[in-house]
Structure 1
């Protein structure tokens, strides 16, 4: 029954599947059963910790009294360190064009809010990270999906992207390495996509929060391909590359800010209104930007083993396939649901949760067709846990297909 205090209409279609599905897992746990959570990419839940040097740096920052406010864009030494590290990777930016935020999520919110009017269109990948869908929905903007093709190792098609553009299109979001697929886009794919953005005068969000977590190939920063005529806003954070999601520190760095001075002023105005990003983590940035690549060696060794067992065991399951992730710590598997004849991805995921106590996120929560049977896996748990998980998945997949097929025969 409606009460006097009703929420705003814009919240009615606001969805975030990664967390929304947890309510079902809590019901299982309330029955005294254990649930293995593979729905959220939080490294700290699985024994990963930030580099020791960063832990020491944040403790020292607190002890040194860095507990107040900072300028809304961030402290100068941190912005300088980010710009210098970016330059080493070929990204043209400056300390003045670096803005620190509450994780990369707030960076996305600031850009969307500053740029998009109701009815404006934003191009987002499908499957893609649901944050972008949620922000667009909140603002009354229109999400237009461009597809990543699993048959092409999840590489998007620039011609399809071009065909989606209308006079209302303002923004192109590219996530590389990709969440949820684990794909790493090739240089040629990125160049083709950025050329489309250039031709149609779009702003590009380059979500590169996993750029250090690469198994195969080489990450190509989009800011390094921008030339002098394409505005690219690169988003990064401490959350994944530095294994510190709870510190809630991200940043955007802008390439070719001279092309959009009014938009930059609007972003800074919005940043002013929320005062500043967390201060103690800003004081670890100089240390973080100077860490040797070896700081991730043990992390990547463990993640690679977990990636490999995920790929191998899922592809042994009858009716299931999974591309080999090239970056991040996600895999996007597909259960053959016979084009929906055997149900939906959410039915499969919820059935797996209820029968086997394993929680994934259904692919439609990331923008795929529910009938296509995709689901995202977080392969952060150790290999022993993953072996148990995939054994349960194999058992349930057989049970699911047999029970659904039997119903179809009646």
Structure 2
């Protein structure tokens, strides 16, 4: 029988966040084990609800959602995005420069597919949200990673970025607030990136899906307010700030020097037409979301659930003999590292598998995000603080085992069919750990 092989274009594509570890977690859940899923920033899994006003806006417009919309999206949604951009100080954007998509994920693919030819280069942060690297590779380009080092608070260095630019470079990707690190870029860093993009006539793709998820005194600066003399695409959506991942609603708003990019925008319009339109019912929630009460601020201020869960991550690291972290100032993640010299043979993939197999916690290894080191891992701060505290206790036990003769249970022992004895063990408080909101 002839083997059916996948496309060679997938050779350099990875998305480990939903890879082997997640598949193993699914197998364990089918065997009856309770897994704490900290690998994905999926608010609905942890009991967060989309604001009721958005749900009502979608329901009330269902009759108007049965036909295809314009390939760029419905007018009220695009108009609301223009108004938001204008309120932030972005000049020159109109509804003609706004494209709605099935989440930011689809738009990442479309904006790159419309731009890249074979072997064109795109500067992508390391660590990054891995879809950016994957989409560059899938669309015949080459991702060139610029470093956002832990010792620099995960802030990029514009001068170092400029040294990576070649005659093949077409664009720069900025993820701010950052996934996976939680870094919120300073004005000086963003101005430096904007200036080098303008000098080299590069497109700026600014992924701002976490734009309002900020902690303490962090200040978010929209990239489009700084980019004037080249094209800037602001990508955002309803998934995170508005806790509506399943609605699959995202947008790309183009600003800056738009006129020289008319052929490119026409190509993007063609690609949008080929997929007819994005999800129409969810688009009706955009105007209400952007123009209404911003409930996210209740969650991120002191006492709010996201703030308190982030504090639990910081406390868990502070109490650990092994772990360290640069305080995340935005987004919904902690990018946790191992202290230098404490666990010299630490491997993020091995640690993630041990934590899953023996402690039933699913995390994302740092190398999943195209980090060149194996000393970090990402967790989300979406669970309650109590859950996160318990997770760090389990992490500490795994790290302890690396420095002792105490043997962790084998995989077979962990996944053997349940008996009365194992059922009793699973009835203990640890096994009953809940990840649903109160």
Report how far residue 179 of structure 1 moved.
Answer: 0.4
Structure 2, unaligned runs of 5 or more: 407-438
Query: Pairwise mapping of residues 137-286 of structure 1 onto structure 2 (< 5 A)?
Result: 137-216=137-216, 217-227=218-228, 229-256=229-256, 257-286=258-287
Counterpart in the other structure of 1:85: 84
Distance 2:321 2:9 in 1: 42
Report how far residue 28 of structure 1 moved.
Answer: 2.9
Residue 232 to residue 402, structure 1, CA distance change in 2 (3 Å) = farther
Counterpart in the other structure of 1:398: 400
Conserved? CA contact 1:48–1:299, under 8 Å: no
Report how far residue 30 of structure 1 moved.
Answer: 4.1
The farther-off stretch of 236-245 and 338-347 is 338-347
Residue 349 of structure 1 aligns to a residue in which SS? helix
Conserved? CA contact 1:318–1:398, under 8 Å: no
2:382 to 380, 401, 404: 380
Report how far residue 101 of structure 1 moved.
Answer: 0.5
Counterpart in the other structure of 1:306: 309
Would you say 1:327 and 2:327 are equivalent positions?
Answer: no
Report how far residue 171 of structure 1 moved.
Answer: 1.0
Counterpart in the other structure of 1:363: 366
Residue 401 to residue 164, structure 1, CA distance change in 2 (3 Å) = farther
TM-score by length of structure 2 reads 0.88
Counterpart in the other structure of 1:50: 50
Conserved? CA contact 1:148–1:156, under 8 Å: yes
Counterpart in the other structure of 1:108: 108
Conserved? CA contact 1:337–1:343, under 8 Å: no
RMSD: 1.7
1:347 to 334, 347, 350: 350
Over 6 Å off, 4+ runs:
none
The CA deviation string for residues 110-159 of structure 1, in whole angstroms up to 9 with x for no partner, is 11101111211111111110001111221231111111122222111111
Distance 1:366 1:160 in 2: 20
The CA deviation string for residues 28-69 of structure 1, in whole angstroms up to 9 with x for no partner, is 33443221110001100111111110011111111x342210
Conserved? CA contact 1:182–1:331, under 8 Å: yes
Distance 1:321 1:12 in 2: 34
Counterpart in the other structure of 1:10: 9
The CA deviation string for residues 184-215 of structure 1, in whole angstroms up to 9 with x for no partner, is 00111100111111111110000000101111
Counterpart in the other structure of 1:121: 121
Conserved? CA contact 2:322–2:343, under 8 Å: no
Residue 199 to residue 403, structure 1, CA distance change in 2 (3 Å) = farther
Residue 403 to residue 144, structure 1, CA distance change in 2 (3 Å) = farther
* Number of residues of Structure 1 aligned to a counterpart in Structure 2: 399
Conserved? CA contact 2:322–2:342, under 8 Å: no
